[in-house]
Structure 1
Amino acid sequence: MRTVPGVVAVFGLLLGVAACSDEPGAAAPGATTPPASSAGSSPTTRPPATPTPPSAPVEGELPRGGRTIFPKYQLVAYVGLPGSPALGPLDKDLDARAARLEKLSRAYAAGRTPQPVMELITVVAKATPGQDRMYRGRIPDAKIDEYLAAARKHKMLLLLDVQPGRAKILPEVKRLERWLKEPDVGLAFDPEWAVGPNQVPGRVFGRTTGTELDSIASYLSGLVQTHKLPEKVFVFHQLSARIVTGEQALRRHPGVVTIKSVDGIGARADKLETWGKLTQRLPAGVHAGFKLFHTEDTRHGPLMTPAQVLALRPRPELVVYE
């Protein structure tokens, strides 16, 4: 999500705020992990009840109607990890953030219907191994339910973002199947945080392959077909060419809308250079997305405007704010 040096060192602190778990088998589908009790709490004190998500959209449809994403919709996303403002604006006050996102998404319409997206970091890379030595933490199921409830309240899509650390990506994705079977929930993958068995996130760039991305898309396609779902969004983030190798092995899969989000960081000229390199040879059927960083980008000048982003070619059909 961000440049590697110095960022993962912050994750340990952020994970404590977000009440992530790294125990083997923790937060298995269907088993809600309660938040940690505060110091001095009575043993009989019950944690707050998990909000029940509003009903899913009309059966077989997306939150704002229909079964297909493009070319009808323009996607605009906020990223966030609960309680961790350093990782994006979607950290708290979800109703207020949703109102801001709704307004922002209208600035990107340009002939399309705006479809706001909440991208929730559900698995976050860590600088420490944890009990299972996978260098990643998972937020509680109850938090995912809370964000899904907020997304449905505002007719937004929810993307579950995975930074797997040393864990294998496909098992981490399948662990989220309870939510991925829903018509308004998609997936995002941060391969720069997918490291090898002897590597530590933040010390090296992680990476993935087109074959691995294809296996994820194939799995999602199976869910779409089995459960008769509308198209499902699958985003993979990429900040440099070396993050993904053999990208042409990524194929089209029925019911899956695959988007490469170009995550260039820094001055506008640098972001445009990264954009040009990473969108030059998109695999057939892969759509282009573009990420803006509120903190890192503005150290080098003003944040790019919607008009400037929409002037890019190919058109970024997903714009992400972190």
Structure 2
Amino acid sequence: MRHFSVFGAGLTTLGLALSLTTLPGCGSRSGTESENTAAAADTTKPVVVDTVALKRQAMMRDSLKADSIAKKNGQLPGAILPGHRIVAFYGNIRAKGMGILGREPKEQMLAKFRKVQKEWQEADPSLPVQPALHSVTITAQAAAGKDGKYRLMNSKATIDETIQWAKDNNCIVFLDVQVGLSDLEHELHKLEPWLKDPIVHMGIDPEFAMKTKGVRPGKKIGTYDAKDVNYAINFLARIVSENKLPPKVLTVHRFTEGMITNYKKIKLDPRVQVVMHMDGWGNPVLKKDSYRDYIQTQPVQYTGFKLFYEYDARPAPHHIMTPKEVLAELTPKPLYIQYQ
């Protein structure tokens, strides 16, 4: 790329660690007595229930209900956006190279994070800041792994500890997914146990979605189509409905045209709040150009903007944009801010 990293989330740490059942058709009554007796016995068996269809119908009912509530009240109860601005620290608590979340000792990082939250609150007192820890949880890898999918999931202990850090510091959590040569259908369900927690939300990163590219992560920039984003939205909407949760936030990383295709076909659902997140790095002028080209001119719902401690300020005289600069120079003003 001409002005930001080809690999926005950073590959420097890639070494890290019913079916439908149909009812039998009616047969002839002209068989032997024993055959007819058996057939009569079969009718007493429990009817097979199509649970997939039932869940689909329930989702449709819940969607209609959610739509009606949202139209009447503006948002579903407990929605974070647009009544807050989410400010997140990104990375992995086990990895120094993936972002600020794991780069510094825990207490030092949290002190810096509190300072950043204060800066954003002072820059825009009209919106309360919602702090977040954005954790890369399924990570693209340089090595194929046993199944050849080039991705690795954090341990349960790491995920649990990250969520506990968040709870101890009044934060929400984003579990971020880099699928490698796998796909969302095979990866997202792994995170469902944690997503049942109301403070846990999700991010998906097309940069490392390589299935349609046919190469390992790092060789090319990956891509998601609207159908992939819609899959993630429907997945989260189901969890919200089944567990009676407030809406989930879904962040979708983007810094090139091709990372998201057919954006107009993304289907919004009140149970899921979608943030299109510009996460390229570079000097402020070119970051603003990218935000305009890929976020502002291709609107979906809410917008996000990323700031890089290590890369935005290099080379001098480039600098990390301040909260006041971001708010003054970006349209629409992003409601999700992420620091890496």
TM-score (norm 1): 0.79
Which residue of the partner structure matches residue 317 of structure 1?
Answer: 335
The question of 1:306 aligning with 2:320 is answered no
Deviation at 1:121, TM superposition (A): 0.6
Deviation at 1:278, TM superposition (A): 1.2
Which residue of the partner structure matches residue 235 of structure 1?
Answer: 251
What amino acid does structure 1 have at the position aligned with 2:333? R
Q: Say which of 77, 90, 96 aligns to 1:85.
A: 96
Deviation at 1:281, TM superposition (A): 3.5
Q: Which runs of 5+ in 1 are unaligned?
A: 21-65
Which residue of the partner structure matches residue 97 of structure 1?
Answer: 109
Which residue of the partner structure matches residue 67 of structure 1?
Answer: 78
Identity across the alignment (%): 29
C-alpha RMSD of matched pairs (Å): 2.0
Q: Is the 8 A contact 1:189 1:237 kept in 2?
A: yes
Which residue of the partner structure matches residue 38 of structure 2?
Answer: none
What amino acid does structure 1 have at the position aligned with 2:170? K
How many matched pairs? 270
Check 1:152–1:195 CA distance in 2 against 1; reply closer, same or farther (3 A cut): same
Q: Say which of 312, 319, 323 aligns to 1:297.
A: 312
Deviation at 1:262, TM superposition (A): 0.5
Q: Say which of 156, 175, 196 aligns to 2:171.
A: 156
Distance 2:184 2:5 in 1: 19
Deviation at 1:12, TM superposition (A): 4.0
Q: Say which of 115, 120, 124 aligns to 1:108.
A: 120
Deviation at 1:82, TM superposition (A): 2.9
Q: Is the 8 A contact 1:251 1:283 kept in 2?
A: no
Q: Is the 8 A contact 2:14 2:139 kept in 1?
A: no
Distance 2:201 2:231 in 1: 15
Distance 1:229 1:97 in 2: 30
Q: Which runs of 5+ in 2 are unaligned?
A: 18-76
Distance 2:193 2:155 in 1: 13
Flag the structure with higher helix content: 2
> How far does the alpha carbon of each residue in 1:98-124 deviate from its partner, in whole angstroms, 9 at most, with x for none?
332222122223111111110011111
Q: Say which of 230, 237, 247 aligns to 1:221.
A: 237
Deviation at 1:299, TM superposition (A): 1.0
Alignment of 1:209-288 (within 5 A): 209-284=225-300, 286-288=301-303
Q: Is the 8 A contact 2:89 2:101 kept in 1?
A: yes
TM-score (norm 2): 0.75
Distance 1:73 1:96 in 2: 25
Q: Say which of 76, 82, 101 aligns to 2:87.
A: 76
Alignment of 1:159-178 (within 5 A): 159-178=174-193
Deviation at 1:138, TM superposition (A): 1.3
Secondary structure of 1:124 counterpart: strand
What amino acid does structure 1 have at the position aligned with 2:136? I
> How far does the alpha carbon of each residue in 1:41-77 deviate from its partner, in whole angstroms, 9 at most, with x for none?
xxxxxxxxxxxxxxxxxxxxxxxxx712123211000
Deviation at 1:249, TM superposition (A): 1.2
Distance 2:5 2:89 in 1: 15
Secondary structure of 1:68 counterpart: coil
